[in-house]
Amino acid sequence: MSMASSGRKRRKFIGLRFAKNGLKEIFLTERNFRIHLFIAGLACLMGVWLPISWIEWAVLITIIALVLTLEVINSSIERVIDYLAPEQHPSARIIKDMAAAAVLIAAIASILIGMCIFLPKLMLLM
């Protein structure tokens, strides 16, 4: 293995370590991320309990990833704003509110998708 190849491999692992640290930080410090993760786990359990198709799994995993990703981005934006503008500023509040709105839109979409996937299966059980 050449030195250049070894260096590239090491850099990839460093990037992975940074991502792992970010996930650890968001999990430990952000209550909403943990709530979204818990609900995602429940949705996956429902997918196992009420067997869903591969397409439904793909949609479910995609919307879960979207909500969790937006929550990470929202938290990152909030921290950057707090760092750059520690004092209360109307523009800072609006930026934070808009980032939170993106999470809310995805969360509402996830509820609607969950209803589309799970309600018909639940209705068959009744």
Cα→Cα distances 113→9, 70, 78, Å: 39, 17, 28
Q: Annotate 72-107 with DSSP letters as a single string.
A: HHHHHHHHHHHHH--S--HHHHHHHHHHHHHHHHHH
56 is catalytic: no
Identified catalytic residue from 25, 30, 56, 71: 71
* Residue linked to tokens 């929202």: 74
Do 69 and 61 contact (CB within 8 A), yes or no?
no
φ/ψ region of 52 (left if φ > 0, alpha if ψ in -120 to 50, else beta) reads beta
Amino acid identity, residue 91? Answer: S
Handedness of CA 99, 101, 105, 108 (dihedral sign): positive
Residues serving a catalytic function are 71
